[in-house]
Chain A
Amino acid sequence: MPSTGKFFLLFCMLLNFVAISPLSAFQANQNLTVSGTVMDGSNEETLPGASIIIKGSTIGTVSDIDGKFSLNVPNPETVLIVSFIGYISKEITVGNQNEITVNLVSNAAELDEVVVIGYGTVKKRDLTGSVERINADAFQNQTMTQLTDMLTGTVAGFNANQSTSAAGGSSLEVRGPTSLNAGTEPLIVLDGVIYKGSIQDINPHDIESMDILKDASSAAVFGSKAASGVILITTKKGKSGKPTINYSTRMGISEPASARRPLGPDDYIQFRKDFFRTVFPNTAYHFYTNPNELPTDVSVEDWRNYGDNPLADNNREYMSRLRLFPIEQENFLSGTTTDWYDVVMRRGTRQTHDLSIGGGADGFNYYWSIGYTDNEGIRVGDEFSSIRSKLNIDFDVTDWLSVGLNTQFSDRDESGVPASMGFYSNSPFGREFDENGNLERLPHGHTFHPLIDNYRTSKLRKVNSLFSILYAKVALPLGITYSISFQPRYETMKDLRFISTDIRFGGSPTEDLSQGTRSEYSHYEWMVDNLLKWNKQIGIHSIDATLLYNSEETKRWSSDNSNINFFPTEELGYHALQFGNNPALSDYDYRFTGDAMMARVNYTLMEKYLLTASIRRDGYSAFGLQNPRATFPALAFAWQIGDEEFFDSELINRMKLRLSWGVNGNRDIGMYASLARLGSNLWYDGTKQRVGVYNSSLSNAGLRWERTESINLGLDVGILEDRIDMSFDYYDMTTTDLLMNRILPSITGFNDVTSNLGELGNHGFETTINTVNYSDKNLTWRSSLVFSLNRNKIKNLFGDIGEYTLLGQTQTGEVPDYSNQWFPGQAIDVVWDYEMLGVWQENEADEAAVYGMRVGDFKAEDVDKNGVFNELVDKQFIGYERPRYRFGFKNDFTFLTHFTASVFIRADLGHIGAYSPALNAGFESNDRRSRNVGPVPYWTPENPINDYARLDVSTSGYGGGLMVYKSRSFVRIQDLSLAYALPSHLAQRLKLNNLRVFGSVRNLATFTKWPHWDPESGASPMPRIFTTGISLSL
């Protein structure tokens, strides 16, 4: 991939040189008049204020409000240079045209864009930190259930893996893990205020843009929780003018991107034979052979005599030797089989509909939307639907007062009960339904039906939330503004379930108890922000100051009720839990509080030297015993080198150097982690119920904030009039006072204690390169390449110095935490395990026996060759679990004016993952209940492979246990889309502003050696999603 990237860059530059034509001579006559229109090539809107200059002179004009211009030129050979900020300049030879339409293409940098930073905005060119912008427009042709669908692999330094469920979502991490135990999810800031709700409740189609604050100085204004980065989300607002109505609909299907089928009938029978031959080595080999397939030297009579008491029928005898259950025997004889993959996995449908109205008048604008999403996952029973609505209203009441409301409501339905992924333990000779059409509880006579929970559980799970921002902004004298906002958020959840014993659904009144549960909570939190801002331009000095005071409170009340064994009927289900005979209840409430103060100054000198300084002080009740508050400072500096007079380059038109430093905090631990808690249990003394207590956690009154200090060095470069826009960032982050659950020897009676200890380092490099590779009337081709790598290192742990053994050597220094596999000097994700050499083959039986193993067991490297696998001696550092390199490569094409296409390729490279199915775990008996490892190859004497062990593999010779690792590197064509916009004159004929049709595929193809479901999700199936849609506006 790196070499491809280089090649690509050269290619782009070459194209760009070709596009600039050589200079032509200037001629003096001015006797022609040319008029024309300057337009934005991508959306056919006119561009007012564009400059049109005759090449080689200072003569020129500016386009008017309608984008029109008129200019006298000397002769037809005259070349006009048409330019506009943010667009690539264009040269046009007049020729014999007197009416010219100039389509300009926006450049790769978009410097005038206003970027959102904490508690304010700034032009992209004035940024001092490392901020990445995502425009939601770029994803309008794709399917999006959550905003995270825009973040998977597309932003350098933003690590997000796709979720596989119908509800969507993904993991989120900026740059690298800055904590060992506390949360590392970035902070979400929605329309300027901290948002603690679920990102599932934000409709991605309401989003205008997202800005990701990666470096400490940008994030430091959010101090307390900003150590893991910040995502600032800006939602759509109404624009002045008549109401605009937008409607879009997306329909699609999802299917498994890869098929991991269980053993088919023949493989299954072979597996049974191989298994029994492994676990009963003393039994005659052909005891398990089909009597019709015996070798010539074994007669059927011999075969029968292998058993003590053979059944009269040879086929029956054969099946009973393979220990097939009655159902299996019938199906084996009749050749009826079931592929459980097809029972569990499916092609699911998806639909999303969004409607919005936006508009405004003097002193008033509004935006209202409602969106409905209904997704079926690729597993039977995996379902998700939601209704999300957003209302943004802003009023300018007087010239000194404006007020507004920004509110969102969401109703999520998570009632699906997905099928079990353990279907690999079901026999292909089992059956889905019995002769009466009831779901077969035990499809082959043992092991539950993978859909049994889906059938017999009725479930209602609803989450409703309402989040509002109510604000007022007052203009005070001397250019000061004061604003106050109040942000309440309400959330309620209901999770009602009932498990029936109805035999139609695989229940069994004699074997099951009916069970009902009702879990509910209501949640209320609020936050208040008070902001003072002052903005002043004094000559060459520009100052922008911000002061904040904030406070917050969160409360939750939750209850769980349950009951079992319902009489006289189960008909009422979870609606009437009182009719069971063993009611139980449990309540849990919590409350926490926080506050914050912040001051920030942005200072700009001569528009070339930019300085940002900020300080924030945070308080949080989880640390309330001794250290409730902490202070987080930050400084950043940027220098527009490109604007200096000494900087003179034909190639490089812009260059900015950025340097920042800052400290951020992490408070993401349990709100009561500093307190010793008593656990409780209930006991009966023969007459009454009694409550018992026990110490369940150790207290740590001195618990305090985790602090991450980081520096960021950045360089932004524009080349060839910003046809190429490059950003490079190097960062180094050090986290101290790590909040850790320090593992204790379990004989203390505790598993761990929450402590502030140790030091963790992350450093890394990121680059984003945006290019306009080609542009002419019929084709525009843009690319964006992102690359990132992060390296982390545990610098210190607990400070326990002593002598210890690692990698076979006695060392002195800081003692590792073997239990968590944390080693000072190594990465968090380093894998410490035995180096696998293969499998003991037939000629190595004696060697294997030394270790108490058999031929076919895993063979690993015995570092000290002493005949014992001792973990402290023989385990080695064999790889890393997180990607070493991450690439994203997006190409956008606009062609034939009305078509756009996009392809996004993603690669995560260099890491390994644990592949536990390779251990063929699961005790096998004649009912094979716990063997659900899937189609994993295995060693047999006839098939002496070297990468997978025998069945019934023994790993007890490996001290500390053994795990098998496989490469998880992958390259995937993640997104592909195509759209067509109806030409505006045709759209207007339909009384529409515009109309677009589009289609897209997500996870089209993946290239990997990872043997499990998917290299990105690991052990769960990744969906491939096809979407088509239409969007129109009135």
Chain B
Amino acid sequence: MFFSCTEEWLEPDPLSFLAPENVYVNEAGFEAILVTLRKNLQYESTGNRHPLSMEHATSELAIPLVQADFRRNTPSNSAFFPFLSYFENAYEFIKNANVLISRIDQVVWEDPQVRNRLLGEAYWHRAYWYYRLVHSYGDVPWIGVELSGAKLDFQTHSRWVILDKIQGDLELAAEWLPIEAATLGDVTKGAANHLLAKVSLANLDFDQAIAASTEVISGAYSLMNERFGIDAGNDSKNVLWDLHRFQNINNSQNTETIYSTIDRPDAPPGTWSSGTYTMRWYSPSWWKILDGTGNRACNWSTPIGDTLGIGNGDVRTNDYWHYKIWEDANNSWDETPDLRRSANNWIEMGDEIAEILNCRAGSPQLGQPLTKELYGSLVDTTDTWFPWPHYKTFVPTPNNRLPVGGQGDFYVFRLAETYLLRAEANFWKGNLGAAADDINRVRERANAPLVSPADVTIDYIFDERARELYTEEPRHTEMVRASYIMAKSNLYSYTLDGFSEKNWYHDRVMRLNFHYQEPRFQWFGNTAAIDPYHVLWPIPQSVITANTLGTINQNIGYDGTENNIPPLETINETI
């Protein structure tokens, strides 16, 4: 101790954390990376103004309530929804996959199947995030290996070369991944094929998209047509209610789930996400409605609040989603047999009164429906008054007193979407009959009137996606995917060159979302506005600025595009 002048004396001695050298040495070590990647997927559908809620708020179905003015959304500024941070987070998850991909062959594998399963799943995760990036941001830098030092000369790659790359990776993943998960959470061949179908569609490889989705549909999956699971005995409910209970998503009877996140309120606290927040972002602040005394008629902290949630109206939906999308030649929205709009699956907020009853002890209106009349000149019911599909949003919140929507499994891919993907691929190929067949499989289960081949349009397909996949799909991403398909095929006079000035996404939003039509919606200093270039979100200025030795392109329309250079058309893996 007194004379310790040896080199050993000064060796660093990490005590409470792990290091790469002693973890990435065997299957268990690499599996631990996959565990992180599976947890990373929860980012999409949990916590504060999560990405999936943003994907709906930026669609034709809704506005992002507190930032409906897209012109305020700049490369340096994104007030509430994660327009900028999504970009950075996706790359963090890609980094995790790249560590596995780069290190897998530093270990000698006795059983190549073990290596292939690990690598296949890492490919799948990486493809998942790149798929989202090239639709949210267009052309982006490709990073495909683990970085070992400071790198500041990134360059933007063309989205098409990235799509080629991940399509190839997914073909390998579909070959290597198991049909059935050995442990819940393992990515399967079905999930690989489903994602491959999406990527192929985006890449205009419709045959591959049909082949991959057919692999799934003819595989071990089938739509749930019968009641099942936790509420199966409750006669007032129906199969769509059952399908969307978080306890049922990985129920062994559920044959529709292809892949989901896993997140359980009764698991150890360290494993929890912050919750699905479905009862926060998608529903109105009904609990702010006042009674005749000026007090809240039924606050969120009452028993009914546990069921309805503490809505905040961030995804402020519109009349198109509430009513028009459900109407057809024979049925109005409140008469449709479609279970997805049935009275017991939705909470109604009518013109004057709501389905919710005043529940404040001592209120003169106790037991009467909430009404706008007593709300007086508090004028604005924008954030407090709109109907919503409760069967999709209800997730109990046992671990948090605020009923925001607690921990729960959440669908990533579900077979109903596979049908709609195959329908879309067939539509692009002109096979309207095949497209109608697939759509009708989904409609049939929902007890909705069937569609005839002549009525199948790309708009109809996206209406159907909304009806079936609200809260589940990355809606903005899917709309941008279709927009790119039309632009690249020069359909309906769309072009790639003019993508930032005219695209299907913007046209559809402007056509169906009355908030953006004159007189434009105005709320707390925001006047709703969306321009064609908002089809893509801004690349964060901080990333462009920190990349001092290279050029990452900004999307056309945003400030800072003068330094853009043509995107790379090939991937050089030795970056």
Interface residues in B1-57 (C-beta closer than 8 Å to A): 1-5, 7, 9-20, 23, 29, 32-39
Q: Is A798 an interface residue (CB 8 A)?
A: yes
- In chain A, positions 62-103 with a C-beta closer than 8 Å to chain B are none
Name the contact of B9 in the complex, choosing from A282, A549, A595, A868 (C-beta under 8 A): A595
Q: Is the CB of B377 within 8 A of A280?
A: no
Interface size on A, residues (CB 8 A): 113
Q: Inside 8 A of A798's CB, which chain B residues have their CB? A: 150
With beta carbons under 8 angstroms apart, the residue of B14, B34, B148, B267 that contacts A684 is B267
Distance between Cα atoms of A800 and B91 in the complex (Å): 24
How many residues of B sit at the interface, in one of the four size bands? 35 or more
Q: Mark B537-575, 1 if CB is under 8 A from A, else 0.
A: 000111101111100100000011000000000000000
Q: Which of A583, A755, A871 has the most CB of B within 10 A?
A: A871
Interchain CB contact under 8 A, B270 and A748: no
Q: Is A329 an interface position by the 8 A CB rule?
A: yes
Inter-chain contacts of A691 with B (CB < 8 A): 32, 35
A817 to chain B: which residues have CB within 8 Å?
546, 548
* B147 CB within 8 Å of chain A: yes
Contact partner of B271 (CB less than 8 A), chosen from A311, A593, A689, A755, is A689
The distance in angstroms between the C-alpha atoms of A871 and B563, with both chains bound, is 13
A551-B9 CB under 8 A given contacts A317-B376, A744-B152, A745-B152: yes
A674 in the interface (beta carbon within 8 A): yes
Chain B residues in 8 Å Cβ range of A961: 76-77
Given A513-B401, A588-B16, A753-B149: A683 and B35 within 8 A (CB)? yes
Known A-B contacts A692-B32, A695-B95; the reply to A621 vs B11 at CB < 8 A is yes
Q: Given A309-B373, A691-B32, answer yes or no on A619-B400 (Cβ-Cβ < 8 Å).
A: no
Q: Does A879 contact B (CB under 8 A)?
A: no
Contact B9 A755 (CB under 8 A): no
Q: Is the CB of A960 within 8 A of B76?
A: yes
Tell me which residues across on chain B come within 8 A of A755, comparing CB atoms: 150
CB interface residues, A 297-332, toward B, < 8 Å: 307-311, 316-317, 320-321, 323, 325-326, 329
Contacts of A42 in B (CB 8 A): none
Cross-chain contact of A672 among B14, B37, B376, B541 (Cβ < 8 A): B14
Query: Known contacts being A678-B19, A685-B185, A818-B545, is A923 close to B35, with CB within 8 Å?
Result: no
Is B492 engaged at the interface, CB distance under 8 Å to the other chain? no
CB-CB < 8 A to B378: which residues of A? 320, 323, 926
A61 within 8 A of B: no
What residues of chain B lie closer than 8 Å to A694, measured between beta carbons? 33, 36, 95-96, 99
Taking each of B290, B400, B542, which has the highest tally of chain A beta carbons within 10 Å of its own beta carbon? B542
Closest Cβ–Cβ distance, residue A320 to chain B (whole Å): 5
Question: What separation, in Å, do the CA atoms of A274 and B84 have in the docked complex?
Answer: 32
A686 contacts B by Cβ under 8 Å: yes
Contact at A593–B10, with CB atoms within 8 Å? yes
Contact flag A624-B32 (CB < 8 Å), given A551-B2, A870-B559: no
When C-beta atoms are compared, the residue in chain B nearest to A555 turns out to be B15
Any A CB within 8 A of the CB of B175: no
Contact B377 A693 (CB under 8 A): no
Interchain CB contact (< 8 A) of A748 among B36, B77, B91, B549:
B91
Contact B75 A624 (CB under 8 A): no
A952-980 CB contacts (< 8 Å) to partner B: 952, 954-961
A683 contacts across to B, CB distance below 8 A: 35-36, 38-39, 185, 262, 271
Contacts of B184 in A (CB 8 A): 685-687
Question: How far, in whole Å, are A599 and B18 apart by their CA atoms in the complex?
Answer: 40
| Pair A746/B88 contact, Cβ less than 8 Å | yes
Give the complex CA separation of A956 and B88 in angstroms. 20
- When distances are taken between beta carbons in the complex, the residues of chain B under 8 Å from A682 are 268, 270-271
Find the B residue at minimum CB distance from A873.
B562
Question: Which residues of chain B are near A680, meaning CB under 8 Å?
Answer: 17-18
Task: Please give, as numbers and ranges, the residues of chain B lying within 8 Å of A870 by CB-CB distance.
Answer: 559-560
Indicate whether A622 reaches chain B with its CB closer than 8 angstroms: yes
Alpha-carbon distance A804/B18, docked complex (angstroms): 40
Given A511, A744, A952, which contacts B150 in the complex, CB threshold below 8 Å?
A744
Interface segment out of the listed B66-74, B388-396, B502-510: B66-74
Nearest CB of chain B from residue A209's CB, rounded to whole Å: 31
Question: A508 CA to B401 CA in the complex, in Å?
Answer: 10
How many Å lie between the Cα of A492 and that of B419 in the bound state? 63
Which residues on A sit within 8 Å (CB–CB) of B5? 549, 551, 595, 597, 619
A58 on interface, CB distance cutoff 8 Å: no
Cβ of B12 and Cβ of A674 under 8 Å apart? yes
By the criterion CB–CB under 8 Å, are B293 and A310 in contact? Answer: no
B435 at the interface (CB under 8 A from A): no
- Interface flags, B152-194, vs A, CB<8A=1, else 0: 1010000000000000000000000000000111000000000
Q: Bound complex: CA of A958 vs CA of B92, how far in Å?
A: 28
Let me know if A311 and B376 touch, CB within 8 A.
Answer: yes
CB neighbours (8 Å) of A436 from chain B are none
Which parts of A750-800 form the interface with B (CB within 8 Å)?
750, 753, 755, 798, 800
- Taking A676-B19, A747-B141, A800-B548 as contacts, is the C-beta distance between A954 and B91 under 8 angstroms? no
- The reply to whether A692 and B36 contact each other, CB–CB distance below 8 Å, is yes
Distance A205 CA – B386 CA, assembled complex (angstroms): 68
B559 close to A959 (CB less than 8 A): yes
Closest A residue to B266 by CB, please name it.
A684
Establish whether residues A747 and B10, one from each chain, have CB atoms under 8 Å apart when the complex forms.
no
The answer, among B20, B71, B383, B560, for a CB contact under 8 Å with A695, is B20
Closest Cβ neighbor of A446 among chain B residues: B288
Residues of B within 8 A of A23 (CB): none
By the criterion CB–CB under 8 Å, are B377 and A753 in contact?
A: no
Cα(A325)–Cα(B262), bound, Å: 41
Would A693 and B36 be within 8 Å (CB), given that A329-B294, A582-B269, A677-B17 are in contact? yes
CB of B399 within 8 A of chain A? Answer: yes
Which residues of chain A are near B559, meaning CB under 8 Å? 868, 870, 959
When the two chains form the complex, which single residue of A513, A594, A743, A926 contacts B546, counting CB atoms closer than 8 Å?
Answer: A743
Q: Identify the interface centre among B33, B75, B76, B372: most chain A CB within 10 Å of its CB.
A: B76
CB of B173, distance to nearest CB on chain A (Å): 20
Check A648 for interface membership: any CB of B closer than 8 A: no
| Interface check A749, CB cutoff 8 A | yes
* Given the contacts A695-B20, A749-B96, A956-B77, A282 and B15 also touching, CB distance less than 8 Å: no
Residues of B within 8 A of A329 (CB): 294
- B407's nearest neighbour on chain A, judged by CB, is A684
The smallest beta-carbon distance between B260 and chain A, in angstroms, is: 10
- Chain B residues with CB under 8 A of A597: 5
Query: Do the beta carbons of A819 and B12 come within 8 Å of each other?
Result: no
Contact at A678–B18, with CB atoms within 8 Å? yes
* Pairwise interchain contact A589-B15, C-beta atoms closer than 8 A: yes
Q: Is the CB of B262 within 8 A of A685?
A: yes
Interface 1/0s, chain A 549-580, versus B by CB < 8 A?
10101000000000011000000000000000
A199 to B204: give the CA distance in the assembly, Å: 68
Q: With an 8 A cutoff between CB atoms, is A698 at the interface?
A: yes
The CA of A818 and the CA of B560, in the complex, are separated in Å by 15
A815-B549 in contact given A749-B96, A952-B525, A960-B541 (Cβ < 8 Å): yes
Contact sample, A vs B, 6 pairs, CB 8 Å cutoff? A309-B373, A320-B376, A549-B5, A682-B270, A746-B92, A753-B149
A619-B10, A682-B271, A748-B91 given; name 5 further pairs at CB < 8 Å: A588-B16, A595-B9, A800-B549, A952-B525, A957-B74
Question: CB within 8 Å of A: which residues of B?
Answer: 1-5, 7, 9-20, 23, 29, 32-39, 66, 71-77, 79-80, 87-88, 91-92, 94-96, 99, 141, 143, 146-152, 154, 183-185, 250, 262-264, 267-271, 290, 293-295, 301-302, 372-373, 376-380, 383, 399-402, 522, 524-525, 540-543, 545-549, 552, 559-560
Residue positions of A touching B, CB distance < 8 A: 278-280, 282, 307-311, 316-317, 320-321, 323, 325-326, 329, 508, 510-513, 526, 528, 530, 549, 551, 553, 564-565, 582-584, 587-595, 597, 619-625, 628-629, 671-672, 674-687, 689-695, 698, 742-750, 753, 755, 798, 800, 802, 804, 815-819, 852, 868, 870-871, 923-926, 952, 954-961
Pick the 9 closest A-B CB pairs, nearest first: A749-B95, A692-B35, A692-B36, A684-B267, A682-B270, A279-B525, A684-B271, A747-B91, A628-B10
